[in-house]
Structure 1
Amino acid sequence: MKPTDTELTLLRPLWQSRRLSAREIHDATEASTGWSFSSTRKTLDRMVDKELIAIEMVHGIKTFIPTTPKLSVLASLIGDFSKNILGSDQPLPAAAFVGSSLISEDEIDELEDLLKDLNEKDTQ
């Protein structure tokens, strides 16, 4: 399942930290969402239902972890954008994301491989 824009906002800190509480996610995203804590919690609950994230209890504290690797989600979104918005049969090159705060230099090659794999599946 593809995340919405607001779900992506909540996934970003999870991808960076791997595991966070609802409060930590809210604190990391409040400036960009402007949401109350209860709105963040409701969105996290919907994301669990959609299996975008999972709940893990750690020392009695409910924490959230992403269920799909960041690069897999990004490759899928990039492929969809290229195909559905740009009308291109080829996804954008991963090099277009050099300098992104979300993707490290080391991840560019892996993203490029994922984009190639997606493109090959689409052409079969």
Structure 2
Amino acid sequence: MAHETNGVKPTEAELTLLNILWKIGPATVRQVHAAVSETQKTGYTTVLKILQIMHDKSLVIRDETNRAHVYAAANSETHTQSSLIKDLITRAFGGSTSKLVMRALNENTSKQEIEDIRNLLNRLEKQD
């Protein structure tokens, strides 16, 4: 179920924590800190503060029934990605999805990715 975020877009630091929560599921600050510390140096209190801000912004929900609060992403990864993509298309590509796709596709696109895109386009075409 998607929670209303009033158009709030997560910052890069917030996306890092959301990616952890999407990967491991609901977690305490200590668990999130341990996961983020595997790839970057971040203090425990920094993770706590970011999660508190994210809670205020409705990006995460917090279970306060235990001494150690448990945080979970308020929205699914797919929902958040869709929201970010829609915003990017509007702001950077004048609302044109095709301009976004044309810019995203380049010589670095693998044959497998091209095949996946072709399959998606075929499925979308059949839906019309």
Settle same-fold status: TM greater than 0.5: yes
CA distance in 2, matches of 1:38, 1:60: 16
Q: Which moved more, 1:66-75 or 1:82-91?
A: 82-91
Q: Give the Å deviation of 1:83.
A: 2.5
Alignment partner, residue 27 of structure 2: 20
Q: Give the Å deviation of 1:66.
A: 0.9
**TM-score in terms of structure 2 length:** 0.64
CA deviation map 1:33-60 (0-9, x unaligned): 4221111111111011111101114654
1:32-51 equivalent positions in 2, closer than 5 A:
32-51=39-58
Work out which structure has the larger RCO, using CA pairs closer than 8 Å and 6 or more positions apart in sequence: 2
CA distance in 1, matches of 2:77, 2:40: 20
CA distance in 1, matches of 2:41, 2:26: 22
Alignment partner, residue 78 of structure 1: 85
Structure 1: gaps spanning 5 or more residues: 100-104, 114-124
1:62-101 equivalent positions in 2, closer than 5 A:
62-90=69-97, 92=100
CA distance in 2, matches of 1:72, 1:78: 10
Q: How high is the sequence identity, in percent, across the aligned residues?
A: 25
Alignment partner, residue 29 of structure 1: 36
Alignment partner, residue 122 of structure 1: none
CA distance in 2, matches of 1:59, 1:40: 19
Equivalent position SS for 1:61: coil
CA distance in 1, matches of 2:43, 2:97: 40
AA aligned opposite 2:52: D
**TM-score in terms of structure 1 length:** 0.66
Q: Give the Å deviation of 1:89.
A: 1.6
Structure 2: gaps spanning 5 or more residues: 1-7
Q: Give the Å deviation of 1:12.
A: 0.5
Q: Which has more radius of gyration?
A: 2
